[in-house]
Homo-oligomer: A and B are copies of this chain.
Amino acid sequence: MVRKRVTLAQVAAEAGVAVSTASLVLGGRAADVRISAAAQERVQAAAERLGYRPNAVSVGLRKGRTSTLGFISDSVASSRLAGEMIKGAIEAARDRGFMVFVGETGGNVTLERQLLEAMVDRQVDGVILAALLTHGRELPDGLDQTPAVLLNIAVDDCGDLPVVLPDELQAGRDAAAALIDAGHRDIHLVGSGPGREDVRTISVAAKLRLDGILEVLTAHGLEPASGRAINQWLPPEGYAAVESILESGTPGAIVCFNDRLAMGVYQALQDHGLRIPDDVSVVSFDDASIAGWLRPGLTTVALPHRTMGKRAADVLIDVIEHHRATPDERGPHGVQLVPMPMRVRGSIRDLSA
């Protein structure tokens, strides 16, 4: 049932040459060692005929490189976003001939260490350590055993590991600018307090988004009309925030700190008979799938998870391949900020028109 693999020895026998000769030819090193054109052809033909494919395990053992990456994430399934990140990494890896082991920790540190060990045991060439849930965390031991890249993890002391992060600061600027450019001045925040001191410790992302927003508002001589710090960024909290805002009148525009808050905001505004964007404009962050399903479509600054995953894999493979070439040269890596693109849909009214 399970067909036996063809080995190099069989190819060599079929071609009437030594194993080493076959290896040289198929490894493209025939020119180096002078193999006659005739012999090369026989080897190629034999390999073709038998359907030879090199055994990657053996190659891995011999070369010490397995063309394999590990992807360790705290969450795989929690959202489409995690999937996007993995997908990006897998695609980039595939394009460069790498396969990816995927592991999920659920935030469990012990599990994380075990996964890392299991991957290192399998001689992965490098590891991507990714996070969606937690920000600001400890790094596991064992990261010194293999090249590594941090994906969506902001740590104070990342050693000299490359880090891939979304450019939340610029995203904050863009969100604010989108409203201001459309002529809005009455801007309320849902998800963070109105001042820098109010961000709580929710996340690095929240802080940066707020910084970007405030920077642009300040540049226009504005400040947030109101702000609400919220611990759980879920629809019910968004709903409640709007009810609170409405006590002091109808807002001109609302910046939601993520799309799920925005969903609650939509529900609340609708329940109060307010229309988006005619009465209230809304802008948000993340570009979760609901953003496109809400009516009207939610304009939101997208977390480019796919691109981030791709970037992480590319950087990691660069390190792996480059490192071999020039062992002591530190690459041009460090923190890689991936731009967050604005997805313009229909939730912002253009007052300037």
Interfacial residues, chain A to chain B (CB-CB below 8 A): 1-3, 5, 53-58, 60-61, 66, 68, 71, 76-80, 82-84, 86-87, 90-91, 94, 99-104, 115, 117-123, 144-147, 234-235, 260, 263, 267, 270, 289-290, 293, 295, 306
Q: Closest Cβ of chain B: how far from A193's Cβ, in Å?
A: 25
Option from B80, B100, B263, B306 in Cβ contact (under 8 Å) with A102: B100
Q: Which of A2, A144, A306 has the most CB of B within 10 A?
A: A2
B83 touches A99 (CB 8 A): no
A3 touches B145 (CB 8 A): yes
Would you give 16 A-B contacts (Cβ < 8 Å), ordered by A? A1-B144, A2-B144, A5-B120, A53-B120, A56-B118, A57-B61, A57-B66, A77-B80, A79-B83, A82-B83, A87-B104, A94-B115, A99-B118, A99-B122, A101-B101, A263-B293
Instruction: Known pairs A76-B83, A235-B293; list 19 more (Cβ under 8 Å).
Output: A5-B145, A53-B121, A56-B118, A57-B122, A57-B123, A68-B122, A76-B86, A77-B80, A77-B84, A77-B306, A78-B83, A91-B104, A94-B103, A94-B115, A99-B101, A100-B103, A101-B102, A235-B295, A267-B295
Q: Which of A5, A83, A118 has the most CB of B within 10 A?
A: A83
Measured in the bound complex, the distance between the Cα atoms of B117 and A3 in whole Å is: 13
| Residues of B contacting A58 in the complex (Cβ-Cβ under 8 angstroms) | 61
| Residues of B contacting A101 in the complex (Cβ-Cβ under 8 angstroms) | 99-102
| Residues of B contacting A115 in the complex (Cβ-Cβ under 8 angstroms) | 94
B99 touches A119 (CB 8 A): yes
Q: Closest Cβ of chain B: how far from A118's Cβ, in Å?
A: 6
B103 touches A99 (CB 8 A): yes
Q: Closest Cβ of chain B: how far from A104's Cβ, in Å?
A: 6
Option from B53, B87, B103 in Cβ contact (under 8 Å) with A76: B87
| Residues of B contacting A147 in the complex (Cβ-Cβ under 8 angstroms) | 2
